[in-house]
Amino acid sequence: MMFYSCQPADPAVRTYVQTIWYISQSGGEAVKMNPRMIPDGRYHMVINLGDPHRYVDKNGNITIPRRSHINAKQTEYVKIERFGHVEIMGIVFRPHGFYPFVRMPVSELTGVICNMEDIVSESFDQLEEQLAGIPSVQGKCLALERWLKDRFHRTAYSYTELRREITYAAEWMVRSSGALRVRELADNLNLHERTLERQFKTYFGVTPKQYANVQRIHAVLRHMLAKPGPMIDYAAIGEFYDQAHFTRVFKDMVGVTPKVYMHNRDLLSDLYNT
């Protein structure tokens, strides 16, 4: 398997995009691995340059998207089933970065896997062909960054349109690992809770409480990867009521129990978040 990731070099793109990544695997490797993508508070655009793959949610529902699509699952995991040769590029938008890309309330997309052509009403064939024809991985990533820069320029979006207190709210939640209560957060920003919730759904696609839950789980995942220990310790880190509550929330979002995750560690997000 080959994996490569980079941050955009252009400051304008870096304002909205956290990471551009690339994965390739042979068919034999791919058949043995069906990784899961879990919510992380960000939106993930995928450009599949290899053989088709499909997504399976926790209820067994199958989605087979076109080559260029967005994973907007923000409250539950999705499993990826790959067949044949794997060659995939991805764009990880910052929490506030997807709204200026699509210029619509992000909550209208949350919870589904959407074809990009259905969202932005433009063909992605030319971009896909261009990326497929570039021999080097670094060259592909540079070309994708140039395309992103042009896309953001064409939307004529001003960063000042996004209310700064909303980005501060998201940053505080990340720093507190989701432990900051929504009412306390709204008070700190001099906002009504309903206003905060409405703005979160517009720009991030989820409520403040849902966003906080994602941050709690990721705080636990970081501790699990850095320092293996008893499950009850992780429940305390995430400020869950007890170990049973922690296990239930963890399984809903990650797809397996904490013990199984520690044994397998087969999340695609473990790659691009390292």
How far, in Å, CA of 52 to CA of 67, rounded? 8
pLDDT score recorded for residue 272: 47
Domains of the chain, CATH where assigned: 2-154 (2.60.120.10), 161-272 (1.10.10.60)
Q: Which amino acid is at 101?
A: F
Confidence of residue 274 (pLDDT cuts 50, 70, 90): very low
Quick: pLDDT tens for 169-197. Answer: 888 888 888 888 889 989 988 889 999 99
Question: C-alpha distances in angstroms, 99 versus 29, 83, 144, 186, 226?
Answer: 35, 32, 19, 22, 33
In Å, how far from its chain's centre is CA 53? 18
Output 75 or 264, whichever has higher pLDDT: 75
CB of 84 closer than 8 Å to CB of 66: no
Global pTM value: 0.88
Question: C-alpha distances in angstroms, 235 versus 33, 36, 151, 270?
Answer: 29, 22, 42, 20
Q: Answer left, alpha or beta for residue 155, where phi above 0 means left and psi between -120 and 50 means alpha.
A: alpha
Quick: pLDDT tens for 219-272. Answer: 888 888 887 788 888 888 888 888 888 898 898 888 889 888 887 776 665 554
Coil/strand/helix, residue 37: strand
Confidence of residue 62 (pLDDT cuts 50, 70, 90): very high
